[in-house]
Structure 1
Amino acid sequence: MLNYKISKKWLILVTLALISALLLAIASSASSIYLYCSSTNNIKADAAIVLGAAVWGEEPSPVFRERINHAINLYKNGFVKTIIFTGGVGESNEPPEAIVGRNYALAQQVKAADILTETQSRTTHQNLTNALEVAKAHQLNKFLIVSDPLHMKRAVLMARNLGMDAHSSPTPTTRYRSFHSQMEFLSRETYFYFVYLVFKI
């Protein structure tokens, strides 16, 4: 009976230790994601890669529009010469995200020759993988990754693991402004960050 009590106590202690370690890892990752979001590289690159987001019919959603506008500002201020829009079809009755981004940029006087697209991806990893193939075809080697601030750590890690010379360029404004929306986004990003570390997807 004594050995059983000791074993049970030991099991509880080990379980508590594992839970504590997991919670610490989650808190540490969430903190690093939050702090990383302020990391901006004001450097010149060959292209800005705009990670896809939802579209509303023929128009970009507010989140996507923030990303597109930031890429256009990088282009017009001479930080990049090319913009690569990524993203396929979210809903069957909508155009690909990349095409919506391209049309929006054209309306803002970005030259058609300076816009590239990939229209097959559905995830961040696919965005970057497909964008890299497009970039290779046009001899583009250095990139600014454009997305929401809390998305940057995972996105840049993915890009660099693909062998890209990638640098963080978060949107200076974000649609996730309230504490609740930021915490919701941070929780989701922390989860997907762990998923990527484990499964590389």
Structure 2
Amino acid sequence: MPKFKPRWVKLILLSFLSALLLAITSTATSIYLYGNKITDTKAEAAIVLGAAVWGEEPSPVFRERINHAINLYKNQNVTKLIFTGGVGEINEPAEAIVGKKYALANKVKVTDILTETESRTTSQNLKNAQLVASIYQLNKFLIVSDPLHMKRAVLMARHLGMDAYPSPTPTTRYRSFSSQMQFLIRETYFYLVYLVFKI
């Protein structure tokens, strides 16, 4: 068997690390740019991806998503809102129920609000929302979430066979450079994991 000299081993390792760094950087860049695209697409429903609730109220992150979905509804970009998300903490209501109550308080018709209350992850949010939507024969969707979450969420939705389009929140609670970088690093990791394992 051929013996690798230390110099060649170092070159191979350096090449691998360079390729890995390039893949990570290009993925992170594409996630950032994708989340900042503005689209005027209209759809039958907006799927609002769940986020934490604080007692009976949506967390600031979740509230941004709900407010954006309500604006889409009032501007007639969608006719239905689908809130997703189950129970995070034992004594808290389901995320979807908190979202529904908030939307009702902001004059969204109860007949135009659908919910699923079992999901705990983005993938489950989308799968369960798809099941709910099928009951009402809804086929075209805007996916509502934070800008940096958008690329992975839409990719997941399309892998489920959904006619889905991004609708990132125009504002985000992740405003500081530090918080945005943490979110971007997290999303880059989960996006690459999803590409490899489809989970």
Q: 2:189 aligns with which of 174, 177, 191?
A: 191
Q: Corresponding residue for 2:73?
A: 75
Query: Would you say 1:148 and 2:114 are equivalent positions?
Result: no
1: CA distance, partners of 2:26 / 2:148: 14
Q: Quote how far apart the aligned CAs of 1:8 are.
A: 2.3
Report Cα offsets for 1:50-96 as digits up to 9, x if no partner: 00000000000000000000000000110000000000011111111
Q: Corresponding residue for 1:90?
A: 88
2: CA distance, partners of 1:54 / 1:112: 22
TM-score, normalization by structure 2: 0.97
Q: Corresponding residue for 1:178?
A: 176
Q: Corresponding residue for 1:34?
A: 32
Could you tell me which amino acid in structure 1 is paired with residue 180 of structure 2? Q
Count of aligned pairs: 198
Q: Quote how far apart the aligned CAs of 1:101 are.
A: 0.2
Q: 1:55 aligns with which of 41, 53, 56?
A: 53
| Greater displacement, 188-197 / 39-48 | 39-48
Give the aligned CA root-mean-square deviation in angstroms: 1.0
Q: Quote how far apart the aligned CAs of 1:9 are.
A: 2.0
Q: Quote how far apart the aligned CAs of 1:152 are.
A: 0.4
SS at match of 1:52: coil
TM-score, normalization by structure 1: 0.96
Q: Corresponding residue for 1:139?
A: 137
List alignment gaps of at least 5 residues for structure 1: none
2: CA distance, partners of 1:181 / 1:154: 18
Query: Would you say 1:101 and 2:95 are equivalent positions?
Result: no
Report Cα offsets for 1:89-137 as digits up to 9, x if no partner: 1111111100000010011010000000000100001100110010011
Q: Corresponding residue for 2:164?
A: 166
Q: Quote how far apart the aligned CAs of 1:36 are.
A: 0.5
The percent of aligned pairs where both chains have the same amino acid is: 74
SS at match of 1:146: strand
Query: Would you say 1:130 and 2:128 are equivalent positions?
Result: yes
1: CA distance, partners of 2:88 / 2:19: 37
2: CA distance, partners of 1:186 / 1:144: 22
SS at match of 1:117: strand
Report Cα offsets for 1:171-194 as digits up to 9, x if no partner: 010001111111111011001101
Q: Quote how far apart the aligned CAs of 1:195 are.
A: 1.0
List alignment gaps of at least 5 residues for structure 2: none
2: CA distance, partners of 1:153 / 1:184: 16
2: CA distance, partners of 1:194 / 1:15: 21
1: CA distance, partners of 2:172 / 2:105: 22
SS at match of 2:184: helix
1: CA distance, partners of 2:95 / 2:192: 26
SS at match of 2:107: coil
